[in-house]
């Protein structure tokens, strides 16, 4: 990717409502905390293709994972700092650890 990175943001006025007659999804829709509460991963509906990984000890943003599809689920390994990310319509599992990111 070219630098500086541009984080895509979904225009909430163009988002399809989640059900007929209802409001579009807004705010943080997914959040997962690591086994020792060191890290938290979240997905915001304003940018549903992005996973924000927060360092709760340093109180800072650690990583931003930009996916090509909408993130559908986040899950931490119960004993390590490994995050599993799944995306809608994808047969791949995206992995993150403090050492880096990969795809499986």
Interatomic CA distance for residues 39 and 34, integer angstroms: 5
Does the bond joining 4 to the residue before it have cis omega, within 30 degrees of 0?
yes
Domain count, the chain: 1
Question: 23 in a domain, yes or no?
Answer: no
27-84: pLDDT as tens digits: 888 999 999 999 999 999 989 999 999 999 999 999 999 999 999 999 999 999 999 9
Question: 11 in a domain, yes or no?
Answer: no
What is the residue range of 85's domain? 28-60+70-103
User: Rounded to the nearest 5°, which phi and psi values hold at 39?
Assistant: -120, 150
Q: Is the pLDDT of residue 9 over 90?
A: no
Residue 25's pLDDT band (cuts 50, 70, 90):
confident
Q: How much is the pTM? A: 0.77
Q: 47 near 10, Cβ under 8 Å?
A: yes
Question: 10 in a domain, yes or no?
Answer: no
Question: 50 in a domain, yes or no?
Answer: yes
């Amino acid at each position: 990717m070219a630098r500086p990175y541009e984080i895509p943001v979904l225009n909430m006025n163009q988002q399809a409502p989640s059900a007929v007659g209802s409001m579009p999804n807004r705010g943080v829709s997914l959040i997962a905390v690591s086994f020792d509460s060191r890290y938290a991963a979240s997905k915001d509906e304003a940018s549903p293709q992005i996973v924000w990984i927060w360092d709760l000890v340093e109180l800072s943003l650690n990583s931003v994972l930009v996916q090509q599809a909408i993130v559908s689920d986040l899950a931490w390994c119960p004993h390590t700092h490994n995050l599993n990310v799944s995306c809608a319509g994808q047969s791949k599992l995206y992995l993150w650890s403090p050492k880096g990111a990969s795809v499986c």
